[in-house]
Structure 1
Amino acid sequence: MPGTKAPESARREQILTAAYEVAAREGLEGTTILQVAAAAQLSPGLVMFHFKSKRFLLLALLDWLLATTTVLHVGGDIAALASPYDRLIALLRQEMHRLSREPLRIRLTFDYWTAGIRDAEIRARVSAELKRYRDAFQPLARAVLEAEPARFAGVTPEGLAAVSVSFIKGCAVQSMLDPERFDIAQYLAAAEGLMAQFGAPAATH
């Protein structure tokens, strides 16, 4: 309830969670301090105390969103796979499933990306975080190329990491655009089939 004391970090998290709920529903332009305060069950003044303005709140929300979306975790089950290629496919499957389950989160991420076309600060933050996400794939991509050079002839670790992320982000976009009919199993099968063809010799006639 308004006026209830709480640690500053907990209060900020409460406000950011409320801001996420509002922004995912209303979009960035439609989000207001009053709506966020109501969702957080706090006074607008307390929201302003912590974030100073709507812009600072939305920038903080962007950082919070990216920190909880573009994080790559390689679990023990994936790390235990003997083949680097199998580990890469398993990681793609994990990330596609993870992101496609949260279409509102992906929609809000793309809302920020659109805003970044005209806002240099937003663009820089989104671009930097996506680069970190791509870079996190590079050690595994490098291991795949070392293990199977013929399959990926001419491909760099940076290139394979970028293609891997494009599959994941594409999956997320498709699940956002048509969540009712999107078939994650079909998308995964198609992605794995395409990955299996990388480096295959071109057909001759």
Structure 2
Amino acid sequence: MPGKKVAEDQRRLQIIEAAFTVASRENLDHLTIRKVADEANLSTGLVFFHFKSKDALLIALLDWLLDGLFEMWEAPKNLPPRERLLLLLSRDLRDAYYDNQAATKLEVFFAFWTMGLHHPEIKEHIRQAIERAKQVFFPTVCELLQNEPERFPGVTAEGLVTVILGIAEGCALEALLTDGKVDIEQILTAQRALLSRSG
């Protein structure tokens, strides 16, 4: 049965959130327009009005997940680059793990990650999100390397940012496999030690 008339953006979000619920309950492989419509208490026709195909709905769901998992964090410019970088890392990790739906979002995201191996459009959307995440860290990392070349000999900004994000992604995967049993504070302490001055 169609729901009451609401703004188009609100209706799209309602459908996307219903798709997330279905995907988290039954996995992406079993997501159908009918199941999403039932979850949202809408007609299939209304779902198709907003999303012309299942693939279009999947991409919208993926983008919604990516917007939440790869937020554009900022840190005060008056902090030294090392402290700005550590603050960005802290905000990124804490947000990913302390969100009430963190584990479920990560589970659905990694299902998309696997699907992306054989779905070029999904793969490209994930690649773009990771690239945007890199750009959050890139200016601060560049400044850190410029200020302390002796601390990071031969290290490029691209290389260090890739390592930083690799640690974050690896921790997310470990959290998923261990039902969230990841010590965020210990990870942040280890990252601080890795970035600390030698001697």
Structure 2 length-normalised TM:
0.89
Q: Post-superposition shift, 1:63? A: 1.9
Q: Contact 2:88 / 2:137 at 8 angstroms: preserved in 1? A: no
Residue 86 of structure 1, aligned match among 83, 88, 102: 83
Q: Contact 2:82 / 2:195 at 8 angstroms: preserved in 1? A: no
Q: Post-superposition shift, 1:65? A: 1.8
Q: 1:136 to 1:180 in 2, by over 3 A?
A: closer
Q: Post-superposition shift, 1:112? A: 0.9
1:16-62 CA-partner distances (Å, limit 9, x unpaired): 11111221232210212222112212122211221122121111111
RMSD across aligned positions (CA) = 2.0
How many positions carry a matched residue from both structures?
196
Question: What is the alpha-carbon distance in structure 1 between the residues aligned to residue 67 and residue 158 of structure 2?
Answer: 22
Aligned residue for 2:33? 33
Q: Which runs of 5+ in 2 are unaligned?
A: none
Q: Which runs of 5+ in 1 are unaligned?
A: none
Q: Contact 2:73 / 2:91 at 8 angstroms: preserved in 1? A: no
SS at match of 2:117: coil
1:162-202 CA-partner distances (Å, limit 9, x unpaired): 111112212222222213532222222223223337xx69x
Sequence identity (%): 39
1:125-167 CA-partner distances (Å, limit 9, x unpaired): 1112211211221101011112222111111111121111112
Query: Quick check: 1:45 aligned with 2:45?
Result: yes
Q: Contact 1:51 / 1:57 at 8 angstroms: preserved in 2? A: yes
Letter of the 2:91 partner, please give it: Q
Question: What is the alpha-carbon distance in structure 1 between the residues aligned to residue 168 and residue 61 of structure 2?
Answer: 22
Query: Quick check: 1:152 aligned with 2:152?
Result: yes
Aligned residue for 2:125? 125
Letter of the 2:61 partner, please give it: L
Structure 1 length-normalised TM:
0.86
Question: What is the alpha-carbon distance in structure 1 between the residues aligned to residue 116 and residue 180 of structure 2?
Answer: 29
Letter of the 1:100 partner, please give it: Y
Aligned residue for 1:176? 176
Question: What is the alpha-carbon distance in structure 2 between the residues aligned to residue 116 and residue 181 of structure 1?
Answer: 27
Q: Contact 2:82 / 2:144 at 8 angstroms: preserved in 1? A: yes
